[in-house]
Homo-oligomer: A and B are copies of this chain.
């Protein structure tokens, strides 16, 4: 299972989003716009908002959401220490039930770090 997590996640996400857009009415489309609009630079920098999205995704235990926000965090220049401190908060808030997702979160991060 290890290896090409990020690339296959991106492709699958794109493939499925096309199916959503085939069926989506106005409300679903508006929600998609809203969703991509809240993580932009504002009073808080985008980098920090992606970390917030990551923390929310871990306590709610959604692997796909975790992967998405970890990839964004990496692109925004989040450091290893910042990531670890954010995930520690999510772990303490969400408890041991989040551990399986924590494992897969660090697995994705390790893959992102390995890319030259």
Interface residues in chain A, defined as those with a beta carbon under 8 Å from any beta carbon in chain B:
1-2, 12-13, 15-17, 19-20, 22-25, 27-28, 30-31, 34-35, 37-39, 42-44, 48-49, 51-53, 55-57, 59-65, 79-100, 102-104, 106-107, 109-110
Contacts and interface: CB of A to CB of B under 8 A. Distances in A.
Given A16-B103, A52-B55, A56-B59, A24 B92 contact: no
The 4 A-B residue pairs with the shortest CB-CB distance, nearest first, are: A95-B95, A43-B81, A16-B103, A64-B100
Best-surrounded residue of A27, A82, A104 (most CB of chain B within 10 A): A27
B106 A22 contact: yes
Q: Which of A96, A97, A103 has the most CB of B within 10 A?
A: A96
